[in-house]
Structure 1
Amino acid sequence: MSRSYLHCPPRCKPAVIVHRLLAVQQVASPTADRPAPELSPEQLLLRAVAEHSDTRDIAVAAKLAPADLRAALDQLFADTGAQDTTQLVILAHGWKLLTAEQAHATRNGASQ
């Protein structure tokens, strides 16, 4: 499977590639080993991390100031128990927080 099929630019981050693979169902969605945490405001950040690679693009998509991104990500990691953005995306798919329909609607939004 090529990056172009997944609509992933050459320099996109692993989290974006994993999200696309799961979204187009080329890889089976994981099963959640624990219940999903409450993530109301953080869901914008979760989607932004899954769809963008560039730090500024993630911040803009999450409606955050770029300077606030690191602290927001750290809080999201703490809330979800994820160690990094790739694990965060995998957990989110297991919790059905990132669905294939949502990804299809925005699949051209990945940035380098």
Structure 2
Amino acid sequence: MRFSPAVVALSLVFATVSSASFGQSADIEIKPRSIEYMQMGEAAQKRGELDLAADLYETSLVVDPRNGSAFIALAQIARVQELPGKAIRLYREALILDPNNLDAWRGRARP
């Protein structure tokens, strides 16, 4: 069976377009309520209330599971609590949502 150059080119374009849809687009809007919980979590984290902050970040994820920032914030708390395995898993979740998330890549690279 012979393939024309046009068929080969179209198949490559289709393969590229279909594989590009696996990551989260950076322009996806996060629900405002999720952002509110993130802000409350950041305030709690700054006060040193890590358990409360983690609860608020987790609530943010319940409201909108696409909130990659919440995964990163939880990973940072896990690092402070000396839970590197949990931190890596959380950074990986953020990367599943957005493979180009530099904060998640930096977090995974830290020892």
- TM-score (norm. length: structure 2): 0.29
Higher helix share: 2
Structure with bigger gyration radius: 2
Bigger RCO (CA 8 Å, 6+ sep): 1
